[in-house]
């Protein structure tokens, strides 16, 4: 008895080509899209080999299965390229985390509010996380005041998706861009993609999106500030 391999369950459907096509007959499409009709599989394979191409099963659920004569290596490359282009055109929504502490001063709080606005303008959700240490947990109202203030700073751009909640020693809040903001982001990405395609057509080099560079810079600055907060905690202990 064949032993079950859990890795097989994780694989997607495999495309059968050439000798892996075991059915007795197939409906064949040639490399130019013309119909060759239903042929014995060995005959379809012979015709593909005569052209120096592959016989590829493109619709296994048909009766009989549909196969196409083509260059399988080029086919895989084209499919991967299409998937990459489709992913590039999608408006991806990430969750950007901004960390707070009950002792975060007004200057840092204002900086983090500006960072949140920039993330929201770029179409990302923002998760605020306020951590409590030691006796800070006895005054959760301080964190609530901070989150209420930040919500007011961002209310023109975002809606509250998950209201402030406490989990162990952490209070969290999740905000999401308003539909109008997401529409604007989508339009900007379409325009940027057209500009990129035009640059490629004209032989000019393409550069990373300026907004992406700005977002990356903001994330680095936030990480530095979070590191400073941790250093202060070490000094307090």
pLDDT tops 70 at residue 230: no
Judge if 33 and 122 occupy the same domain.
Answer: no
Domain that holds residue 131: 95-181+209-236
What's the token pair of residue 159? 């809606």
Judge if 175 and 231 occupy the same domain.
Answer: yes
Residue 48 lies inside a defined structural domain of this protein: yes
pLDDT of residue 208: 56
Specify the number of domains making up the chain: 2
pLDDT tops 60 at residue 1: no
Judge if 156 and 48 occupy the same domain.
Answer: no
Residue 166 lies inside a defined structural domain of this protein: yes
pLDDT of residue 200: 79
pLDDT tops 50 at residue 10: no
Q: What's the CA gap between 112 and 130, in Å, rounded?
A: 12
Percentage above 70 pLDDT, the chain: 83
Residue 18 lies inside a defined structural domain of this protein: yes
Q: Is 227 left (phi over 0), alpha (psi -120 to 50) or beta?
A: alpha
Q: What's the CA gap between 102 and 90, in Å, rounded?
A: 37
pLDDT of residue 8: 43
Judge if 146 and 105 occupy the same domain.
Answer: yes
Give me Rg for the CA atoms of the chain: 28
pLDDT tops 90 at residue 66: yes
pLDDT of residue 138: 81
Residue 154 lies inside a defined structural domain of this protein: yes
The whole-model pTM stands at 0.55
Judge if 30 and 113 occupy the same domain.
Answer: no
pLDDT of residue 78: 87
Judge if 66 and 100 occupy the same domain.
Answer: no
pLDDT of residue 4: 43
Judge if 173 and 231 occupy the same domain.
Answer: yes
What's the token pair of residue 33? 């899209």
pLDDT of residue 9: 41
Q: What's the CA gap between 20 and 57, in Å, rounded?
A: 9
Q: What's the CA gap between 105 and 146, in Å, rounded?
A: 10
Residue 201 lies inside a defined structural domain of this protein: no
Work out the angle between the directed axes of helices 106-121 and 179-201 (0-180°, nearest 10). 60
Judge if 150 and 37 occupy the same domain.
Answer: no
Residue 146 lies inside a defined structural domain of this protein: yes
Q: What mean pLDDT do residues 125-145 have?
A: 88
Q: Band of the pLDDT at 139, cuts 50, 70, 90?
A: confident
Tokens 């969750």, located at residue: 95
Q: What is the CATH number of the domain that holds 23?
A: 3.10.20.80
Strands (E), the chain: 25-29, 35-40, 54-59, 66-70, 95-100, 125-131, 158-167, 170-177
Judge if 169 and 63 occupy the same domain.
Answer: no
Q: Mean pLDDT for the chain?
A: 84
Residue 202 lies inside a defined structural domain of this protein: no
Name the least confident of 41-45, 46-50, 75-79.
Answer: 75-79
Greater confidence (152 vs 166) lies with: 152
Q: What mean pLDDT do residues 161-169 have?
A: 88
Q: What's the CA gap between 206 and 43, in Å, rounded?
A: 48
Judge if 28 and 118 occupy the same domain.
Answer: no
Instruction: Spell out the long-range contacts of 29-37 with Cβ–Cβ below 8 A and sequence spacing 24 or more.
Output: 29/58, 29/66, 29/67, 29/68, 29/69, 30/68, 30/69, 31/68, 31/69, 31/70, 31/71
Residue 77 lies inside a defined structural domain of this protein: no
Judge if 61 and 131 occupy the same domain.
Answer: no
Q: What is the CATH number of the domain that holds 156?
A: 3.30.110.10
pLDDT of residue 119: 93
Judge if 122 and 165 occupy the same domain.
Answer: yes
Q: Band of the pLDDT at 233, cuts 50, 70, 90?
A: low
pLDDT tops 50 at residue 7: no
Residues in the chain: 237
């Amino acid at each position: 008895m064949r032993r079950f391999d859990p890795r097989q369950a994780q694989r997607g459907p495999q495309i059968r080509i050439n000798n892996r096509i075991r059915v007795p007959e197939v409906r064949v499409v040639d490399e130019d899209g013309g119909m060759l009709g239903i042929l014995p599989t060995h005959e379809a394979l012979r015709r593909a080999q005569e052209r120096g191409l592959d016989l590829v099963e493109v619709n296994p659920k048909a009766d009989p299965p549909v196969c196409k004569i083509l260059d399988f290596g080029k086919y895989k490359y084209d499919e991967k390229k299409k998937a990459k282009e489709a992913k590039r055109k999608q408006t991806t929504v990430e969750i950007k985390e901004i960390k707070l502490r009950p002792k975060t001063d007004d200057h840092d709080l204002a900086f983090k509010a500006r960072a949140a606005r920039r993330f929201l303008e770029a179409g990302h959700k923002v998760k605020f996380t306020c951590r409590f240490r030691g006796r800070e947990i006895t005054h959760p109202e301080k964190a609530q005041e901070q989150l209420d203030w930040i919500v007011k700073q961002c209310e023109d751009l975002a809606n509250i998706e998950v209201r402030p909640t406490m989990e162990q020693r952490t209070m969290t809040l999740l905000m999401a861009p308003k539909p109008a903001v997401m529409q604007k982001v989508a339009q900007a990405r379409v325009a940027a993609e057209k500009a990129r395609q035009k640059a490629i057509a004209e032989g000019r080099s393409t550069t990373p999106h300026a907004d992406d560079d700005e977002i990356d810079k903001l994330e680095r600055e936030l990480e530095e500030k979070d590191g400073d907060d941790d250093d202060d905690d070490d000094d307090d202990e």
